[in-house]
Amino acid sequence: MDIKLINGGVCAAKGFKAAGVHCGIRKNKTKKDLALIVSDTICNAAAVYTTNLVKGAPLTVTKNHISDGKARAVICNSGNANTCNANGIEIAEQMSDLVAKELNINANDVVVASTGVIGQPLDIAPIAEGIPTLAKTLRANGSQDAAEAIMTTDTVDKQIAVEFTIGDKVCHMGGIAKGSGMIHPNMATMLVFITTDVAISSDMLQKALSGDITNTFNMLSIDGDTSTNDMVTVLANGMADNKEITDDGEEFNTFMKALNTVTVNLCRVIAGDGEGATKLLECKVSGADTPDTAKTVAKSVVCSSLLKAAMFGADANWGRVLCAIGYSGAQVDTTKIDVSFVSDKGKILVCQNGAGVDFSEEKAKEILLEREIVIDIKLNDGEFSSTAWGCDLTYDYVKINGDYRT
């Protein structure tokens, strides 16, 4: 079950093209603001959506469009989230219609997404003017352009692709994502578009995605805010010509491993690019009595503002880890907990059996000054484990969000 990292992003799978242009939604003409992903053939489709009760119009439209488990294209704009607008549904449907007309496909086979400021009116005019150019620039190596076009406060584009084998067929899967702020566990937490040439039924595709997110995107937090417009979609066009996956088994397990490789990679990149972040935090919990205990503890620690601030300052304040475990709601024996901080500079034990131990503050600071930090928590009470991702809390997070709209 070898999963190999390759280039190509959302275009790595056979039959997918992508493009990204600046159409005029964003004032900065150097920033792309409209992305398109298209398959040569109809795809089986699956999606998961934000749990926020306030949802952007594109989510409502997309959910309706892929209710038959089918899609062929994704259109996404950045700079305006198309949320809380009286004519939001109309605008989202118009985006679908414009893409459908340009590509000569069914409008109900178009996934629609938006990201950006909430509550600002969205003018269809620049989108209508940009879609013909967008369609004309579709190409098999267009993932980079599409990835840039969905960015908001992101500082880096987010792409991943893998190659693997199902049966005797070489298969591919790739994805692009945006996400930097307003990210908190509760699916979904950002925009993620995943494509694959694997032949898999819509039902099994949905099962794979819904199962995967509980251990990936639902374990990701930047700032504790659950967004209104975010979703994850997967399109599978079957062009790898493997025997269609319609049930559980070895081939489905291989597909799940490939999907998990893609989603974990994107989780890490999103967490590391949190608004104002200087560090990627990975909280690894082991020795839990149940899977839920492990997840609850990991999420509580990675979401702690005090712990995130301590990591920014490279302060080995392990008491904040214990504090976050204590209020998490998980029933744990606090007298068994061990905590270590880990990075490329080494590993240091700072708490054992729920109490402090002597350690070198100088060594701890050296470890915590690195770009990627692991908070290693051993509950020593069972066999279950979980991982959550986040970032440090910096001055720049406040600066970015203090004038985000203006």
Residue with tokens 């893998």: 162
Query: Closest Cα partner for 13 from 132, 123, 170, 156?
Result: 170
What residue type is 155 in one-letter code? Answer: T
Q: Which residues contact 361 (CB under 8 A, 6 or more apart)?
A: 316
Query: CB atoms < 10 A from the CB of 257, how many?
Result: 16
Q: Which residues contact 231 (CB under 8 A, 6 or more apart)?
A: 47, 48, 49, 50, 59, 62, 113, 188, 191, 192
Query: Closest Cα partner for 345 from 362, 357, 358?
Result: 362
Catalytic residue (choose from 189, 261, 293, 387):
189
Cα–Cα distance list, 397 to 41, 78, 179, 181, 269 (Å): 42, 20, 14, 9, 17
Q: Output DSSP code: residue 239.
A: T
Tell me whether residue 400 is exposed, middle or buried, using C-beta atoms within 10 angstroms of its C-beta: 0 to 12, 13 to 18, 19 or more. Answer: middle
280-288 sheet: strands from edge to edge: 355-356, 346-352, 338-343, 372-378, 280-288, 384-391
Q: Return the SS3 of 168.
A: coil
Q: SS3 breakdown of the chain: % helix, strand, coil, rounded to 5? A: 35, 30, 35
What residue type is 304 in one-letter code? Answer: S
Query: CB atoms < 10 A from the CB of 28, how many?
Result: 9
* Known catalytic residue at 233: no
CA distance 61 to 59: 5
Extract the tokens encoding 190.
């950002």
Residue 18: its H or E element: strand 16-21
Tell me whether residue 84 is exposed, middle or buried, using C-beta atoms within 10 angstroms of its C-beta: 0 to 12, 13 to 18, 19 or more. Answer: middle
Cα 343 from chain centre: 23
Residue with tokens 């004309």: 136
Residues that are catalytic: 189
